[in-house]
Structure 1
Amino acid sequence: MSMVLRALIVDDEYPARMELRYQLSQFPDVEIIGEATNAREAMTLINALDYDVIFLDVQMPGMTGIELARSLKGRAVVPKVVFVTAYENYAVSAFEIPATDYLLKPIEADRLAETIQRLREAKAASAGEGRPEKTGEAERPSAEARPQLSFLLCEKDDKQIPLPLNEIVYIFSEGYNVYVQTYSDRLLTRHTLQELTERLPSTQFFRSHRSYIVNIYQVKEISPYFNGAYIMKLKDKEHSEVIVSRANVKRMKELFSLG
């Protein structure tokens, strides 16, 4: 199975981020687990998570993309950098950093495919995929590769909020965005639901549906729904109701010791 490339998109223009997100969605092994509108936001996300690649605009308010990429040198884990810009004249500076690639907007599909293949090869080389396979039990991924979250980084009113996990009632996706519901507030997070499913404690957080993750300690009531599904009423101010899809009912019953 191919390894997933965990990507961060950094661009101050919303249409540009959405276009790149769409183009990257054509590659099943690319997972976008963060977006930032400037270098300051990007650095906060980079400090919180390990990314394989940053798709980075050059000209942004405040610190430029070139300056951000230079500031990453010397870190224990340095993501690959792919510059995405409308300007050709920064290419020399970009490859001095060095950057993995330099893409000009609008990005051509074939050109992006070349970049993704280059990133795949770099990750495979760093992981030693080219080595002969070992006999016996297959090696398991190191737990350090995807460390468990101890808090969830959220956003509200241009502020970064490190939210303690016990304050989360549930998490849900809406369009391109993922939101975190607390008792009385709703916050945006740049994580994807899939990443949160992997990195939140499985003894506390339950993926009840493809669009929802629930903190099981914030469940007030559980009721049968229809076609084998269930509904959870939660302990937030609005007593939100979240569906448990039929495919996830077995796991729900295990978590709550239901017969």
Structure 2
Amino acid sequence: MLRALIVDDEYPARMELRYQLSQFPDVEVIGEATNAREAMALINALDYDVIFLDVQMPGMTGIELAKSLKGRPVMPKVVFVTAYENYAVSAFEIPATDYLLKPIEAERLGETIQRLREAKEAAAGEARPEASEGAERPAGASKPQLTFLMCEKDDKQIPLPLNEIVYIFSEGYNVYVQTYSERYLTRHTLQELTERLPSSQFFRSHRSYLVNIYQVKEISPYFNGAYILKLKDKEHSEVIVSRSNVKRMKQLFSMG
């Protein structure tokens, strides 16, 4: 998958680009920002393959943001998306992978995505010889553990410390994060969070739930070998532990 971040101060522009990118099954938009400051917080929190970056924004421009990313250990590709042609020279000096003019034509966007695919495949090919030479890679090295979780509420980006999370759940196509009194949307999938949150703290109790074990108040038997966890949020939410996950739960809580 190509993991994408959209940075644009105009909401309709972000929604239109998100829709256009949704037509490519191997592109996943996992973040949105309205300005350079928000974008930098997201870039510091997650690794992105590509940033679709508006040029003219309040405060720091897209060109300035892209220049500030130079020298990072993991440098995402930059695709500028703008209504103005006159920034193209500056964009390719960075260098940018592509420069798209609004409104974006579907065929033109397809060319950009193909260019990004080829760049990612080439980078993966360069990395393979290291693995074949016997260099050991730690498990999950391609997906570093999260130290906090970026969430969204009221069109704002919220960096959430892990210890404030009570549980995470999926509902339809969305994934939500519940704290003591607030609920936030996150662009991560539940499976990705299962892999990237500390397994000693977060427990996949059910296919739809991921629970912070330090936020469990009570554990009660349920039907057919399942259990119920009562949690410490304001509503004292109850989350089921499916039979297949009971053994892991008992290990985590040292239950005989």
Q: TM-score interval w.r.t. the shorter chain?
A: 0.7 to 0.9
> Of 178, 190, 210, which residue of structure 2 is paired with 1:193?
190
CA deviation profile, 1:57-115 (whole Å, cap 9, x unmatched): 11211111111111111212110001122222222221121110112222222222221
Q: Which TM-score applies when normalising by structure 2?
A: 0.80
* Corresponding residue for residue 166 of structure 1: 163
Equivalent residues of 1:7, 1:34 under 8 A apart: yes
Equivalent residues of 1:5, 1:52 under 8 A apart: yes
Which letter maps to 2:107? D
* Corresponding residue for residue 255 of structure 1: 249
Gaps of 5+ in 2: none
Report how far residue 47 of structure 1 moved: 1.3
Instruction: Please state whether the residue corresponding to 2:104 is helix, strand or coil.
Output: coil
Report how far residue 118 of structure 1 moved: 0.9
How has the CA–CA distance of structure 1 residues 111 and 252 changed in structure 2, closer, same or farther, with 3 Å as cutoff?
farther
Equivalent residues of 1:35, 1:190 under 8 A apart: no
> Of 60, 69, 72, which residue of structure 1 is paired with 2:69?
72
- Separation of aligned partners in 2, 1:104 and 1:211: 40
How has the CA–CA distance of structure 1 residues 40 and 211 changed in structure 2, closer, same or farther, with 3 Å as cutoff?
farther
Equivalent residues of 2:177, 2:184 under 8 A apart: yes
How has the CA–CA distance of structure 1 residues 189 and 110 changed in structure 2, closer, same or farther, with 3 Å as cutoff?
same
- Separation of aligned partners in 2, 1:104 and 1:229: 55
> Of 89, 92, 96, which residue of structure 1 is paired with 2:89?
92
* Corresponding residue for residue 143 of structure 1: 140
**Could you tell which deviates more after superposition, 63-72 or 81-90?**
81-90
CA deviation profile, 1:139-189 (whole Å, cap 9, x unmatched): 978633211112224466887654332321112356776442122233454
Q: Which TM-score applies when normalising by structure 1?
A: 0.79
**Could you tell which deviates more after superposition, 109-118 or 208-217?**
208-217
**Could you tell which deviates more after superposition, 209-218 or 165-174?**
209-218
Query: Percent of aligned positions with the same letter in both sequences?
Result: 83
